[in-house]
A and B are shown apart, each in its own frame.
Chain A
Amino acid sequence: AQSVAQPEDQVNVAEGNPLTVKCTYSVSGNPYLFWYVQYPNRGLQFLLKYITGDNLVKGSYGFEAEFNKSQTSFHLKKPSALVSDSALYFCAVRDPFGNEKLTFGTGTRLTIIP
């Protein structure tokens, strides 16, 4: 069965510093990978996805993520954190040629410290 792990419940980063939110996955085939963000009292918003091609994908709000097949990882990154990046982040995986079900990680709360 496919699964997603977000090993950190909470990540704190100083404003202006680079940030990384970790995600590893397990799926039998080639994965489709996603990051979503949830701001306080808001719904989930799509940030970026990896489908195929370049391992480094860029998304909204200056975020990017790198697909690493050998390490089965898809870490979310941003070169310089903003206070407004403080939110709950979810990684998700889908096997497009399996059951196609979208499976989410448990989420990581990112806090940017001014």
Chain B
Amino acid sequence: GAGVSQSPSNKVTEKGKDVELRCDPISGHTALYWYRQSLGQGLEFLIYFQGNSAPDKSGLPSDRFSAERTGGSVSTLTIQRTQQEDSAVYLCASSSRGQSMNTEAFFGQGTRLTVV
């Protein structure tokens, strides 16, 4: 597609349930990021994938959070045993390699997760 696609756009789940959030990056982009944003506040870094390198997982807030990127393209962020504090907008972004002049990241519209 032309841009970064995220699904679902909205997700309401019950506390304790698992959820999966999907990100389809721009074709050819080697870098993929997940961020979390609460109530229009700042961006909280979660995880970063770059090509075939080991992902940077330093931002994942707990072991309930995990992410994978299959075939260097689509990524899935999984939250197990959701808690109310997990409620936020989850943003995905992708970009080309760092040395490229066209290196800006492009963001999806996000998934709004509400845990009730």
Contact = CB atoms under 8 A, between A and B. Distances in A.
22 contacts: A34-B105, A36-B107, A38-B40, A40-B40, A43-B107, A43-B110, A46-B105, A46-B106, A90-B43, A92-B105, A94-B103, A95-B98, A96-B103, A97-B99, A98-B98, A100-B31, A100-B50, A101-B50, A104-B42, A104-B43, A107-B41, A107-B42
A51 interface: yes
Contacts of A88: 40
Interface residues of B, number: 26
Nearest to A9: B42
Contacts of B43: 90, 104, 107
Nearest to B99: A96
B28 to A, nearest CB: 16
Contacts of A99: 50, 56
Contacts of A49: 103-104
Contacts, number: 61
Interface of B: 31, 33, 35, 40-43, 45, 48, 50, 56, 91, 93, 95, 97-99, 101, 103-110
Given A97-B98, A100-B50, A100-B98, A106 B42 contact: yes
Interface residues of A, number: 28
A34 B97 CA distance: 15
Contacts of B105: 34, 46, 92, 102
A76 B98 CA distance: 22
A43 B110 CA distance: 7
